[in-house]
Amino acid sequence: MLHGETIHSPLPQDLPWWQPDHFVFFSVLYLVLFIIASGMGYCVIKAIIDTKKAAAHGAQH
């Protein structure tokens, strides 16, 4: 090692996104977002179907 030379160690921001730590983090993040979006989509579709059923039932009486 020469005088004035520094050792560069990779900092977390220097690591590429596909490193194991980042891959696990983003995989879990996307899984959680997918579950939330799926649950919201299910609630919206169920509400639409229930509304149509109620409207059809009300039209019969």
Q: Is residue 22 within 8 Å of residue 15, measured between CB atoms?
A: yes
Task: Tokens for 54, please give them.
Answer: 């109620």
pTM > 0.75: yes or no: no
**pLDDT band per the 50, 70, 90 thresholds, residue 17:** low
Reported as a single tens digit per residue, the pLDDT across 19-55 is 677 888 899 999 999 999 999 999 999 999 999 999 8
Which phi and psi angles does 7 have, rounded to 5°? -95, 125
Give the model's pLDDT for residue 41: 96
**pLDDT band per the 50, 70, 90 thresholds, residue 57:** confident
Give the model's pLDDT for residue 42: 97
C-alpha 61/C-alpha 19 separation (Å) is: 63
Q: Is residue 13 within 8 Å of residue 19, measured between CB atoms?
A: no
